[in-house]
């Protein structure tokens, strides 16, 4: 029975990680769109939506990762 509980926890952790990884992918894609189409609002809107998520309580519920630190690292990727 304990194995089932462990599996449930692992499944929730996997889901939380997938949500975060998708947000990181979406943020990077938004940056590409901003660079390619700087006059279109869609890229900026998506970028802001992701950044709001990284600073949200929902993000804090999903992980122990510091969302502000993650965002800083993502921004550093762009400037390198």
Span 28-54, mean pLDDT? Answer: 97
How far, in Å, CA of 56 to CA of 4, rounded? Answer: 30
Task: Show the domain range for 11.
Answer: 2-79
As for how many domains the chain has, the answer is 1
Closest alpha carbon to 68 in 12, 76, 13, 33? 76
Is residue 60's pLDDT more than 90? yes
Rounded distance between C-alpha atoms, residue 68 and residue 46, angstroms? 17
User: Residue 13 is encoded by which pair of tokens?
Assistant: 């952790």
Distance CA 64, CA 34 (A): 29
Query: Does position 71 have pLDDT exceeding 90, yes or no?
Result: yes
Predicted TM-score (pTM) of the model is 0.87
Place of tokens 């499944």: 11
pLDDT greater than 70 at residue 35 = yes
Identify the band that residue 2 occupies on the pLDDT scale cut at 50, 70 and 90.
low
**Does 1 have pLDDT greater than 70?**
no
């Amino acid at each position: 029975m304990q194995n089932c509980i462990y599996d449930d926890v692992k499944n929730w952790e996997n889901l939380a990680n997938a949500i975060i990884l998708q947000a990181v992918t979406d943020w990077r894609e938004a940056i590409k769109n901003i660079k390619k189409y700087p006059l279109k609002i869609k890229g900026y809107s998506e970028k802001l939506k992701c950044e709001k998520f990284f600073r949200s309580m929902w993000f804090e519920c999903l992980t122990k990762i510091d969302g502000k630190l993650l965002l800083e690292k993502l921004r550093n990727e762009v400037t390198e």
